[in-house]
Homo-oligomer: A and B are copies of this chain.
Amino acid sequence: MSEETANSGEPVAEKDDARHAMKMAKKKTAREKIMATKTDEKGLIIVHTGKGKGKSTAGFGMIFRHIAHGMPCAVVQFIKGAWQTGERDLIEKHFGDLCQFYTLGEGFTWETQDRARDVAMAQRAWEKAKELIRDERNSMVLLDEVNIALRYDYIDVAEVVRFLKEEKPHMTHVVLTGRNAKEDLIEIADLVTEMELVKHPFRSGIKAQKGVEF
């Protein structure tokens, strides 16, 4: 492949290449200098929130990274909803020895229509989450959609914050997903990403599709 084709027909002058190389060399040095100061390792409290897509998906992506490295991990799904997700089948079928998977939430309240039951299910899920986090063999525990349970006060944010601060083993990563993450949780988190919706196909009449939304 020639350089010409890569630049819409305009040849790249050697001078430009040299200038570019110098600029990039500076960038590399600056970057290495910064990276050299990053030496600590610790288990992170990671929050994915916002109205955009990808909060759970990126959480599962990290779980698959753990699986890829042979590191034991676990998932607790706080909200099951009406959709079946494929992740559970895939993980249980292929990687059940590395990743424990619990779906304990019952769905959104507007589906179950039963707050007392949702509260009980969320509490059960939180008990299981604590057990999995306390087990130091787990390198990462994903609490999928826990923010929804927190938002509706199915579980108490003060209790979650206290547990993560006081009882989470030092090297364990805990990932908490779902929109409307509570401020108290963001406060104690190490890594917070807000997935912002820029454009969504639902607006133009496209339905949820297999492999994308579920």
Contacts and interface: CB of A to CB of B under 8 A. Distances in A.
Interface residues of A, number: 98
Given A17-B115, A119-B6, A214-B65, A197 B193 contact: yes
Contacts of A50: 196
Interface string A88-121: 0110001000000000000001110111100110
B44 A206 contact: yes
Nearest to A61: B57
Contacts of A38: 202, 205-208
A23 B71 CA distance: 43
Contact of A52 (B24, B37, B193): B193
Interface in A1-37: 1, 3, 5-8, 12, 17, 20-21, 24-25, 27-28, 31, 34-35, 37
Contacts of A209: 41, 44, 173
A10 to B, nearest CB: 10
A182 interface: no
Interface stretch (A129-137, A160-168, A183-191): A183-191
Nearest to A157: B8
B65 A54 contact: no
A180 interface: no
Given A12-B116, A110-B24, A115-B17, A62 B67 contact: no
A37 B194 CA distance: 28
Interface string A33-60: 0110111111010111010111111111
Interface in A76-95: 85-87, 89-90, 94
Given A58-B54, A65-B86, A115-B17, A198 B210 contact: no
Most-contacted residue by chain B among A191, A197, A202, A214 (CB, 10 A): A191
A113 B167 CA distance: 46
A31 to B, nearest CB: 7
Given A21-B115, A64-B87, 5 more contacts: A24-B113, A44-B209, A56-B61, A59-B61, A69-B86
